[in-house]
Structure 1
Amino acid sequence: MKILMLASYLPYPLWDGGRIRLYNILKTLSKNHEVTLICEKRPKQSEKDIREVGKICKKLIVVERPDVWSLRNLAKTAFSLNPLLVTSHSSKKIKEAIEGELNAEKFDLIHVETFYIMENLPEVDIPIVLTEHNIEYEIYAKYTKKAKFFAKPVLFADVAKLKRLEKNFWKRADKLIAVSAKEQKIMGAGTQLVPNGVDIEKFKFKKLEKNKKVRKILFIGDFKWIQNRDSAFFIIKNIWPRIINETKDKFDLKLWIVGKNIPESIKKLKNETITFDENAPDQTELIFEDSDILLSPIRVGGGSNFKILEAMASGVPVVTSRLGNEGLGAQENSEIIICDLPEECVQAVLKLLNDDYYFEKIARRGREFVEKNFDWKIISKKLEEVYKSVVK
């Protein structure tokens, strides 16, 4: 098939879940299909990053993304029916690039990653497949509830715009794709489930060491996302002090918080048992190789968490919330450990630290689970089935 793919980001380096998903989908799809990608580029991304993505596409068109918080965008949002998220991704250059490709080539379908880039797509008679990584209006609504009281009216108005437009774009697509069952249910009948995946060749099962005294408990994520800021704060304030109090005479524990854009409000909580690392390797397989447990109590958001899949593939036991497992469906206390309350999370980590047999069971079964269900080759086949269903 000849596929025109639209995205609001250049999928390299593999900084976050969206980039990981799109990069691996492109990599596998390009073996059997001709894919043209039109996407936005952030200022931090280099020509080298563009070349890396160019290797896995038939054609790559990159447009510089304008400043989200420009006065122009803010004013435009205030006096329009579009939310800031859509306004900031509306681009004359992208519209021109899309129209140019549609006039020059005959595509079998258009694949759109996230609805807020669809504003740039003209009316077409080509099938459109839209993938949603999250229900954006739900995430923004949860954030707005926690905002300062004086900001809430403006933010709630933006959420209302977001909800209306997101649902309108769902109607415009010929087929919708969700990455977890929760989103699939909200998006309605006919929505297909194509979950996130993991590169099981890149993330190798690590050697398990018994009776270790020095242990690293990992939290990893990009802190521009609300859910990662919330989770890190929750760990530091509600979970970590209790773990240290229970283990100070038995283990030398370190909480290793890895990610870009860590806010000062979180960094100021540092102590001798907590390390903040914004310069860890981009090769996250090296991070998991140096970790013992992934602690990821996700309380906001949706989809399926790539870092959880990568940890499981690497043989790093995962302690997460029911929300964190929602897009995965791993078996509790066999392939993954589930906790929602702080004390439950404390006890889960302590059991892994104190019981080597239990630790190894979770690690090995977690790896088996992702091999069977989340290899990118399996995920891409599911996506190809969706394509076939809309292409006449």
Structure 2
Amino acid sequence: MNILMLTPYLPYPLVSGGQIRTYNLLKNLHGKHTITLFCYIRKEKERQYIKHLEHFCSTIRVFKRRPVWTPQNILKSQFSFNPLLMTMYSSQELQDAIKQEIGTGKYDLIHAETFYMMPNIPKTTLPTILVVQTIEHLGYLEYTKRHKNPLFKPFLYWDVTKIKYWEEKYWKQATRLIAMSDEDRKYIRKRIPDVGPIDVVANGVDIDHFHEVKKQLTKDFIVLFVGTFKWLPNVEAVEYLVTKVWKKIIDRIPNAKLWIVGNSPTQRILDLAQGDPSIIVKGRVDDIRDAYKHANVLLAPVWSGKGTRYKILEAMATDTPIVATSLAVEGLGVVPGVQALVANDAQGLADRVILLSNDRQLAKTLAKNGSELVKKGYNWSSIAKKLDEIYIQVGSYGQS
């Protein structure tokens, strides 16, 4: 199949969930399909990473995305029915390039990652696969509910309303949808009963890559938080961890250290560590395996957003015990008390971390069970095989 893939990011380096997903799917689909990649970059220096993808793609074209908080974006979002998220990723240059590309007549289908890439696709008879990496309006809604500035809230709620409208519109417009979990699939079907076929193609993890690095625990009890901070639910989660949970842990585990790892930590997150030597904001690390290598437990107090979380899969792939909210492990087949300890309040999360610090056998059992789960159901080769089958079905439909 000849496929035109559209992504809102360059799938390298592997610092966000979307980049990890797209890179590994491209890697595992190489040789089976001819893929042309059109994607956004934020900074010109990102062009240096194109070489890491050239082996997997026949052609790669990148387009500069406008910065978020420009007067143009804000005014267009405020005085139109386009949400800020969609305004950022709308580009006449990209639209013209896509129109010209599909005009060659060589493509069997279009693969779009995220609904906000869809407005760039011109009217076409080509079948379109839309990948729902996360249900965007739910993540932004939860963030808005917890936002503390009452003057800003009406703007946020209005933006959420617009996101929901367009997200559901493009769900209906796509030839086929791909969700990250069965829970997401059911939610979409409930919202839009007459939507077309929905497949589940979950996120995965490069198990061999993570198994190359073995555990090296230190004298400190390392509690690890992982997440890119360009994603609002991660910002919300780490703020909750520090302000609501951490004191309960450090009071009972004096040698505990909190490592906050992830791309683009905000100044607010950096400030959380001020005056507390037990909190270390590491930001982006060159190799995420080095963080898991020293971690006694991954703590994931996720309260909003949908999709599946790479941090959970990576923790299981590195034999790292997990303490998390129900939402953080949703859709992964995790049984509370078997592959992870689950709680949905600050005291419960703290208590379960403290329990693991005192019960090494429980920690080993959770790690072993998690490792078995991720090996069985979340390796990229089997996930890519499922996407390969969908490509063949959808592409064949477009030819009939």
Question: TM-score under structure 1 normalisation?
Answer: 0.94
Tell me the distance in 1 between the aligned counterparts of 2:152 and 2:204. Answer: 37
Q: Does 2:108 align with 1:108? A: yes
Ranges in structure 2 where 5+ consecutive residues have no aligned partner: none
Range with bigger deviation, 224-233 or 258-267: 258-267
Q: What root-mean-square deviation, in Å, do the aligned CA atoms of Structure 1 and Structure 2 show? A: 1.7
Q: Which residue of structure 2 lines up, in the alignment, with residue 264 of structure 1?
A: 267
Tell me the distance in 1 between the aligned counterparts of 2:265 and 2:79. Answer: 33
Judge conservation of contact 1:205–1:314 (CA < 8 Å) in 2. no
Tell me the distance in 1 between the aligned counterparts of 2:296 and 2:158. Answer: 44
Tell me the distance in 1 between the aligned counterparts of 2:337 and 2:84. Answer: 42
Q: Does 2:265 align with 1:276? A: no
State the 1:111 CA deviation.
Answer: 0.6
- AA aligned opposite 1:245: D
Judge conservation of contact 1:2–1:107 (CA < 8 Å) in 2. yes
Structure 1 residues 184, 334: closer, same or farther in 2, change over 3 A?
same
Q: Which residue of structure 1 lines up, in the alignment, with residue 178 of structure 2?
A: 177
Summarize deviations over 1:237-258 as a string: whole Å, max 9, x none: 222111111122xxx2211111
Aligned length: 387
Structure 1 residues 343, 154: closer, same or farther in 2, change over 3 A?
closer
- AA aligned opposite 2:122: P
Range with bigger deviation, 53-62 or 183-192: 183-192
Q: Does 2:234 align with 1:228? A: yes
Judge conservation of contact 2:213–2:293 (CA < 8 Å) in 1. yes
Tell me the distance in 2 between the aligned counterparts of 1:144 and 1:23. Answer: 31
Q: Per the alignment, in what secondary structure is the counterpart of residue 295 of structure 1?
A: strand
Tell me the distance in 1 between the aligned counterparts of 2:216 and 2:78. Answer: 57
Summarize deviations over 1:112-157 as a string: whole Å, max 9, x none: 0001011010111111110011111122222222332212222222
Judge conservation of contact 1:28–1:376 (CA < 8 Å) in 2. yes
Tell me the distance in 1 between the aligned counterparts of 2:346 and 2:212. Answer: 29
Tell me the distance in 1 between the aligned counterparts of 2:271 and 2:159. Answer: 31
Judge conservation of contact 1:9–1:39 (CA < 8 Å) in 2. yes
State the 1:328 CA deviation.
Answer: 0.8
Structure 1 residues 362, 46: closer, same or farther in 2, change over 3 A?
same
Tell me the distance in 1 between the aligned counterparts of 2:44 and 2:311. Answer: 22
Q: Does 2:393 align with 1:389? A: yes
Tell me the distance in 2 between the aligned counterparts of 1:85 and 1:258. Answer: 25
Tell me the distance in 2 between the aligned counterparts of 1:326 and 1:19. Answer: 21
State the 1:169 CA deviation.
Answer: 0.8
Ranges in structure 1 where 5+ consecutive residues have no aligned partner: none
Q: Does 2:205 align with 1:198? A: yes
Q: Per the alignment, in what secondary structure is the counterpart of residue 123 of structure 1?
A: coil
Match of 1:215 among 211, 217, 221: 221
Q: Which residue of structure 1 lines up, in the alignment, with residue 43 of structure 2?
A: 43
Q: Which residue of structure 2 lines up, in the alignment, with residue 87 of structure 1?
A: 87
Structure 1 residues 279, 24: closer, same or farther in 2, change over 3 A?
closer
Structure 1 runs (4+) deviating above 4 angstroms are 205-210
Judge conservation of contact 1:206–1:315 (CA < 8 Å) in 2. no
Q: Which residue of structure 2 lines up, in the alignment, with residue 31 of structure 1?
A: 31
Structure 1 residues 45, 331: closer, same or farther in 2, change over 3 A?
farther
State the 1:298 CA deviation.
Answer: 0.7
Tell me the distance in 2 between the aligned counterparts of 1:264 and 1:172. Answer: 39
Summarize deviations over 1:189-241 as a string: whole Å, max 9, x none: 6321111000011111754579x642211101111221111111111122211
Q: Per the alignment, in what secondary structure is the counterpart of residue 50 of structure 2?
A: helix
Judge conservation of contact 2:143–2:236 (CA < 8 Å) in 1. no
Judge conservation of contact 2:41–2:65 (CA < 8 Å) in 1. yes
Judge conservation of contact 1:205–1:313 (CA < 8 Å) in 2. no
Range with bigger deviation, 310-319 or 79-88: 79-88
Judge conservation of contact 2:111–2:128 (CA < 8 Å) in 1. yes
Range with bigger deviation, 376-385 or 125-134: 376-385
Tell me the distance in 1 between the aligned counterparts of 2:227 and 2:356. Answer: 22
Q: Which residue of structure 2 lines up, in the alignment, with residue 320 of structure 1?
A: 324
Q: Does 2:289 align with 1:298? A: no
Seq. identity, %: 37
Q: Which residue of structure 2 lines up, in the alignment, with residue 186 of structure 1?
A: 187
Tell me the distance in 1 between the aligned counterparts of 2:81 and 2:337. Answer: 47
Structure 1 residues 146, 357: closer, same or farther in 2, change over 3 A?
closer
Judge conservation of contact 1:181–1:326 (CA < 8 Å) in 2. no
- AA aligned opposite 1:17: G
- AA aligned opposite 1:341: D
Tell me the distance in 2 between the aligned counterparts of 1:97 and 1:267. Answer: 40
Q: Which residue of structure 2 lines up, in the alignment, with residue 240 of structure 1?
A: 246
Q: Per the alignment, in what secondary structure is the counterpart of residue 185 of structure 1?
A: helix
Tell me the distance in 2 between the aligned counterparts of 1:238 and 1:153. Answer: 27
- AA aligned opposite 1:227: P
Equivalence map 1:111-190=2 (5 Å): 111-147=111-147, 148-188=149-189, 190=197
Q: Does 2:74 align with 1:74? A: yes
Match of 2:312 among 293, 308, 312: 308
Tell me the distance in 1 between the aligned counterparts of 2:221 and 2:310. Answer: 22
Judge conservation of contact 1:205–1:367 (CA < 8 Å) in 2. no
